[in-house]
Amino acid sequence: MVIFAYDFPHKKTVDFIFHSLVKGYKVEAIIAAPPVKLNIPKSSIRSKLRHEPSYHPKDVADRFNLPYLVSPHNSLETELFLADLKPDVGLIGGARILKPQIIKQFSKGIINFHPGLIPEARGLDALFWSIINNVDLGVTSHLIDERIDAGQILEVKKIPLNLDDTLFDLSERLYEIQIAMIDMAIKNTIENNVKEIDYSNTQYNGKMPSDLELKVESALNEYLLNKLK
């Protein structure tokens, strides 16, 4: 298994590496992409905790003698590295959009975890869009393809809700569920236990406009009341 990661302290990257090691998966390599500046507007409201990651992924790789390649994920260097390695399964602990020439290097596929239901909540700000559009909150594990937040579905798991949940509670629970789903996602990938989805009439959500973001917090209480009836 190859883990796609970021080459800087990043909680999801490190958590995915640790989980894979604790569960006994063979991590053949970690491909860590250098930081890049993203041209995405800052959200008007917060929903994620400000974590302070304890480890740099490179420190973890060194401690457990894991091959660690620092390279942009879609680079020729990465493509040639994977062509030589011939991996079966990829796991995204941190990555931007991967291009077809990278995806095709994996005989079984590359697993991604989307913090929303696919296809109902594809795209950015899945938590916010789900609340505004009254879509159930959950995580979808899937095999990526050239489309964004699409591909074959491995598993869908809705998260439990509480009437006093905040956006921070929901965001953190969506993250925790992703980690809990890793084992089943790998098993389904290896066994080719996938579900095909017709995406022809589905919508991809972009970044939520700031004026609509400001309505999310006020809509949350009604959303929870409706879902917990």
DSSP string, 131-187: HHTTPPPEEEEEE--SSSS-SEEEEEEEPP--TT--HHHHHHHHHHHHHHTHHHHHH
CA distances from 136 to 95, 156, 167, 176 (A): 25, 11, 14, 17
- Check residue 108 and give its pLDDT: 98
Which CATH number does the domain housing residue 184 bear?
Answer: 3.40.50.12230
Q: For residue 62, what is the DSSP state?
A: H
Task: Say how many C-beta atoms besides its own lie within 10 A of residue 117's C-beta.
Answer: 20
Q: Give the pLDDT confidence of 204-217 residue by residue, as tens digits.
A: 999 999 999 999 99
- Sequence-ordered alpha helix ranges (H) in the chain: 11-22, 57-63, 76-85, 100-103, 126-132, 167-180, 182-190, 210-213, 216-227
Confidence of residue 148 (pLDDT cuts 50, 70, 90): confident
Q: Give the pLDDT confidence of 62-112 residue by residue, as tens digits.
A: 999 999 999 999 999 999 999 999 999 999 999 999 999 999 999 999 999
The angle, 0 to 180 degrees and rounded to 10, between the axes of the packed helices 167-180 and 182-190 is 40
**24 class by beta-carbon count within 10 Å (0-12 exposed, 13-18 middle, 19+ buried):** exposed
C-alpha 60/C-alpha 57 separation (Å) is 5
- Check residue 149 and give its pLDDT: 87
Q: Tell me phi and psi for residue 19, to 5 degrees.
A: -60, -45
Q: Are 57 and 68 in contact (CB under 8 A)?
A: yes
Arithmetic mean of pLDDT over the chain = 95
Confidence of residue 22 (pLDDT cuts 50, 70, 90): very high
C-alpha 133/C-alpha 123 separation (Å) is 14
Q: Give the pLDDT confidence of 119-138 residue by residue, as tens digits.
A: 999 999 999 999 999 999 99
Number of separate domains in the chain = 1
Model pTM? Answer: 0.95
CA angle in degrees (0–180, nearest 5) for 4-14-172: 105
| Domain span at 142 | 2-227
